[in-house]
Amino acid sequence: MPTQVNLIPEDAPFEEGQREWLNGLLSALAGWEGSLGGAAQDSGEAKESFPWHDPALEMDERMALAEGKPYERQLMAAMAQLDCGQCGYLCKTYAEAIAFEGEALNRCVPGGKETERKLKELGAAHQAANAGPAAEEPAEKPAAKPKKAAPLGSRDNPYMARLKSSTPLNAEGSTKDTRHVVIDLGDSGIEYEAGDSMGIYPENDPRSVDAILADLEVSGGEMVTTAAGESKRLRQALLKDLDVTKPSDEAIALLAEHAGDADEAEDLRMLSGQGAAEGQTLLELLRVYPSARPPLQALVDALGPLQPRLYSIASSSKRYPTEIHTTVAVVKTAVYGRGYKGVASTFLAKRLSLHGEVPIYIQRSEEFRVHADPDHPAIMIGPGTGIAPFMAFLQEREARGDAGRNWLFFGNPESAKDHIYRRELEAWRKQGLLSRLTLAFSRDQEEKVYVQTRMLEQAREFWVWLQAGAVIYICGDASRMANDVDHALHRIVAEQGGFDAAGATRYVERLTAERRYLRDVY
């Protein structure tokens, strides 16, 4: 993307606005800008870059890049995802909402404990740095502005939708349990677009909640007050409001404070400093440290909120105007000798009964969209459940009658058991909607083969598509797959385009700036 070149020195005898206008004029005359007005329109915030906004970077790398930046930019650097939207914001706007509007610090779910701690650390440091003598209270406080009612189907006003179906996609014997889940929107009038995500408010496993109540030696009928100020019975709060699978540092510190056994108290204090490991649920902690029994309301106050989860929508509203389809991988593993199941995935795919209700909302995508140009080529890379938005994209392009070519890279462990959506993909391949379908089944052969492997094998053709204006879309795991795919893309650009490493990086950055390299990663 063209950029403005500043030729007027900072110490030239012009005011800032005059200097900016002259730089824009000279850039335009030299062919660096598309129009004389471009510089003025694109100046300031629009030109700001966010090099730390990369989930492939470690926390210390991101924070080093944001060193010396304003508070809101440091908050953004602590957030680990590329605008996943789970918090209800973009990373930039969420950071600004924390800094300027007092938004809560605990919405960044995918960042995990590391992000949670860094945000708290930054918040505490900012508060300490800005602490001063208490301001004198005004005689009369200004009336609070009434909040505008949130539209139905938004995060703050979810719609109670019904589960229409949950269909297994893997063949018998697969190590995976992937479901095609269909949600009925009824006559709600809720609209969505291909590229959007569906947020759901899950419930904790009732068996885990009942086990927690048993270990606390309470009935669950005790009344407590939630963070939202609602009075609820303890069992209902544990089911619907509180995160019991990932105890907060505050909750662990509370357990330490009320542990009757000195050794247990010491262990819990150390644990509160480093955070609970994966699988160290509240139930696990209560059983390992039986002397730690805090007051119920204090425990409710210390536990973090049960956050909503996002799922990429796998349908086009042009085909399914009153339904949302999504692809759910049921999380299940063994931790500490017991089965551990994902809260949202098991709730949505297995525990929710047919026609059972689930609060849902639409998380709009800012950029991850089917291109408006019906002739543009699209390269879609989505292994596992990362295929979900591309099912929507292909349905959308089919419904619109787009002529642009589509190339899908899809991968999973075994072709015989894990070739999900095989029938639909093969049908699209035969009718020509899919120009190319490249598959990578990692365990079909001795040497592991992944989507990035296939990209490199077909590097020449990949480069031809890029030169023809293709938009690259990636969906899936941020820390591994997306990072590996990004490395493969840089290598293809360098080798096929004849660039050195720096030139390849500039080329890929230009793709991003031109919205031809879009990622929906988590």
Q: Give backbone dihedrals phi and psi of 299, rounded to 5 degrees, phi first.
A: -65, -45
Segment holding 429, helix H or strand E? helix 422-431
Q: Give backbone dihedrals phi and psi of 109, rounded to 5 degrees, phi first.
A: -70, -50
- Percent pLDDT > 90 in the chain is 66
Question: Tokens representing 45?
Answer: 């915030």
Tens digits of per-residue pLDDT, 343-376?
A: 999 999 889 999 999 999 999 998 899 999 999 9
Tens digits of per-residue pLDDT, 416-468?
A: 999 999 999 999 999 999 999 999 999 999 999 999 999 999 999 999 999 99
pLDDT value of residue 140: 58
The average confidence (pLDDT) of the chain is 87
CA distance 330 to 313: 16
Whether the predicted pLDDT of 22 surpasses 60:
no
**pLDDT band at residue 110 under the 50/70/90 scheme:** low
Contact by Cβ (8 Å): 311, 197: yes
Average of per-residue pLDDT across 488-517: 96
Q: Which has more confidence, 507 or 116?
A: 507
pLDDT value of residue 3: 42
Q: Is 197 exposed, middle or buried (0-12, 13-18, 19+ CB in 10 A)?
A: buried
Q: Angle at the Cα of 41 (from 38 to 42), degrees rounded to 5? A: 80
| Three-state SS letters, 65-122 | HCCCCCHHHHHHHHCCCCCCCCCCCCHHHHHHHHHHHCCCCCCCCCCHHHHHHHHHHH
CA distance 515 to 370: 11
pLDDT value of residue 522: 79
